[in-house]
Chains A and B, each alone.
Chain A
């Protein structure tokens, strides 16, 4: 209905291969980005930043990471929580060991370190496939969490075993620590997430993404047409872990401020992010955002609804909430197993041919 595609013809491959070939999509995305950067910072409060926007953005980034591995490359992973922890602890160690290091560099290095760990745990993927691999990734999950619990060097021998972020500035703005303003943390996170989302989209639609999808759709055929499975999978593991690592660093340093491995990076975290990409849509960057939004918003909504709306006991409502969460997830899987991104795409197709039904 809103699309006006007549006259939007492409005279070069460059314009045909553009990120958003349809002008209306472009305008919409630009509008959303401008709103996120220029409007929200003026109205943001602590509650909005910490309860909604930061978790949304950070989980979206982690979901993009997992989507690269699972959605694009077809390698089911249950180790996301562990990789988040690697990113978090890497950033903690970097910040405390090198207090002068630029925060951006800290985050990038945290991502790189996680990527290396990811490659290490990705090696078995050559021989192990499907659910076997999924279970194998649990090994990394448990091992990493155990490691950060047991080796005091990782938490600088703190008595509690927790890690707490030191306050750090970037361009004179305080980004980490309890005194950082919500607008700054939000903008910092938004900038990183936007950039990395764009990069992920570029990878996904190019040769790298095609080789991932080839492995995902039919690994034998992919190998026969000359795609090297191990190399392709390892790249996916590396890139995926890089994203998750940065998300872990953000989660710890910018959002939570302090963390303890079993709580913040446990297997529930792995499942949460897996749900995000399944409900958002496998193999879709947009879906990663949608899934993250859904999984961040739903518990808040359910809690508000039951505690404030129905006046249930918080403890009781928590059980009901878990149950409803499960019900909603199953409902979603049944109604649209391809996720919110597919719904969005269907809606878009409908709008493009409006008023025609097909």
Chain B
């Protein structure tokens, strides 16, 4: 399937840049000297064969792994190590390769948890909040209802009204992925990291998910970085693509450029294209 030529969108402002990042576990080098940037508003794909370091890259971006070398600059602020919860508070949300939902909770509650970092308060505020919550009084109740309303918009957006009260453990895989996306959206992220959002989906589910990703990008203006194996999906969705192989970046550019890149063909696509 050859991708249709996509109208090239132009993005100016850099939201994230990764410079010369290296990460290793023990002796194993997961990422070596990788640099790239993500511009505000674009859909950026990271592709590469299994074990190329894609998921590790996302883990570095949201502070879950701490690279030994290099800098990550998000919204102009540079850092090397940080707690994931701080990354979340700064506006980075993500989904996971193997769905990481809270199995004991309903769809609604799962998405509601995405609102939690928005409600962070200082220690004193937290203590007051616990009391208010317990009494279900005043600001606590009001905030609860406001969050609910916000989350309902997401539920509506993702068309999962019918599973609102279902414990997520009972949902089919495709819907779980959608709920997970919902939870990430509830964080009102500026940068959304999607780790194989369409893994294990059938064609119809993939189309739905693609539509949601485009709509998120379109409607909320969210910058998206995604890892995906289905090349045709990647070519359709993304504005620019990074190709990783054995922890190194081997190509970076528009779908057209990447597709015609010899190194990519050799390393990743394996067989000559078409």
> What residues make up the interface of A, taking CB atoms closer than 8 Å to B?
13-14, 16-17, 199-200, 202-203, 206-208, 210-211, 213-214, 216-218, 220-229, 231, 235, 239, 283
Q: Report whether A235 and B135 are in contact in the complex, using a CB–CB cutoff of 8 Å.
A: no
What is the CB-to-nearest-CB distance from B135 to chain A, in angstroms, rounded to a whole number? Answer: 7
Return chain B residues, CB-CB under 8 Å to A17.
Answer: 144-145, 148
Q: Mark B128-139, 1 if CB is under 8 A from A, else 0.
A: 011001111000
Minimum-distance CB pairs A-B, first 10? A226-B117, A226-B88, A217-B102, A221-B100, A199-B134, A202-B136, A224-B84, A206-B133, A13-B145, A13-B148
Q: Judge whether B116 and A213 touch: CB under 8 Å.
A: no
Is there a chain A Cβ closer than 8 Å to B93's Cβ? yes
Q: Is B62 interfacial (CB-CB < 8 Å)? A: yes
| Cβ–Cβ contact B135 & A217, under 8 A | no
Which residues of B sit under 8 angstroms from A214, Cβ to Cβ? Answer: 102, 105, 113, 116
Query: What are the interface flags for B47-64 relative to A under an 8 Å C-beta threshold, 1 for contact and 0 otherwise?
Result: 000000000000000101
Asked if B105 and A225 sit within 8 Å, CB to CB, the answer is no
Quote the shortest CB–CB distance from A75 to chain B (angstroms): 15
Instruction: Give Cα distance in the complex from A223 to B85, angstroms.
Output: 5
Please report B residues at the A interface, Cβ cutoff 8 Å.
Answer: 62, 64, 83-85, 88-89, 93-94, 96, 100-105, 109, 112-117, 119-120, 126, 129-130, 133-136, 140-141, 143-145, 147-149, 152, 183-184, 187
Chain B hits for A213, CB < 8 A: 102, 104-105, 109
Chain B nearest CB from A122 CB (Å) reads 14
Distance (whole angstroms) from the CB of B152 to the closest CB of chain A: 8
Which DSSP category, helix, strand, loop or mixed, fits chain A's interface? helix
B194 CB → nearest A CB, Å = 13
Known: A210-B113, A225-B113, A227-B85. A235 touches B126 (CB 8 A): yes
Q: Is there contact, CB below 8 Å, between A208 and B129?
A: yes
A206, A225, A227: most-surrounded residue (chain B CB, <10 A):
A225
> B113 and A222: CB pair below 8 A?
yes
Contacts of B184 in A (CB 8 A): 225
Bound form: Cα–Cα A17–B126 in Å: 22
A210–B100 CB distance below 8 A: no
With both chains docked as a complex, state the minimum distance between the C-beta of B153 and any C-beta of chain A, in angstroms: 12
In the complex, what residues of A have CB within 8 A of residue B147's CB? 207
- Cα A17 to Cα B143 with chains together (Å): 12
Smallest CB-CB separation from B83: which chain A residue? A223
- Contact assessment for B103 and A207 in the assembled complex, using a CB-CB cutoff below 8 Å: no
- Contact A224 B64, CB 8 Å, known A207-B116, A210-B105, A235-B130: yes
Contact between A224 and B102, CB atoms less than 8 A apart: no
Q: How far is the CB of B181 from chain A (nearest CB, A)?
A: 12
Q: List 23 A-B contacts (CB under 8 A).
A: A13-B149, A14-B141, A17-B144, A17-B145, A199-B135, A202-B134, A202-B135, A203-B134, A207-B129, A208-B133, A208-B134, A210-B113, A211-B113, A211-B116, A213-B104, A216-B102, A218-B100, A224-B85, A225-B93, A225-B114, A225-B183, A225-B184, A226-B89
Evaluate contact between B104 and A226: CB separation under 8 angstroms.
no
Residues on B with C-beta less than 8 A from A224 are 62, 64, 84-85, 88, 94, 100
* Closest-CB distance, B243 to chain A (whole angstroms): 25
Instruction: Determine the chain B residues whose CB is within 8 A of the CB of A16 once the complex forms.
Output: 148
Could you tell me the distance between the alpha carbons of A199 and B89 in the complex, rounded to whole angstroms? 29
Q: A202-B135, A217-B104, A283-B104 are in contact. Are A207 and B144 (CB under 8 A)?
A: yes
Taking CB as reference atom, which chain B residue is nearest A220? B100
Query: By the criterion CB–CB under 8 Å, are B89 and A206 in contact?
Result: no
**Residue on A with the closest CB to B59?**
A224
Q: A227: which of B101, B116, B129 is its contact (CB, 8 Å)?
A: B116
Report which of A221, A229, A231 forms a contact with B102, defined as CB distance below 8 A: A221
The CA of A229 and the CA of B84, in the complex, are separated in Å by 11
Known: A207-B133, A235-B130, A239-B130. A225 touches B148 (CB 8 A): no
Chain B residues in 8 Å Cβ range of A207: 112, 115-116, 119, 129, 133, 140, 143-144, 147
Closest approach, in angstroms, between the C-beta of A59 and any C-beta of chain B? 21
Chain B neighbourhood of A221, CB < 8 A:
96, 100-102
Measured between beta carbons, the chain A residues less than 8 angstroms from B83 are 223
CA distance A224 to B60 in the complex (A): 12
Residues in B neighbouring A210, C-beta threshold 8 A: 105, 109, 112-113, 116
Q: Which residues of B contact A217 (CB under 8 A)?
A: 101-105
Please indicate which of the listed interface residues B96, B113, B117, B147 has the most CB atoms of chain A within 10 Å of its own CB: B113
CA–CA, A207 to B83, complex, Å?
A: 21
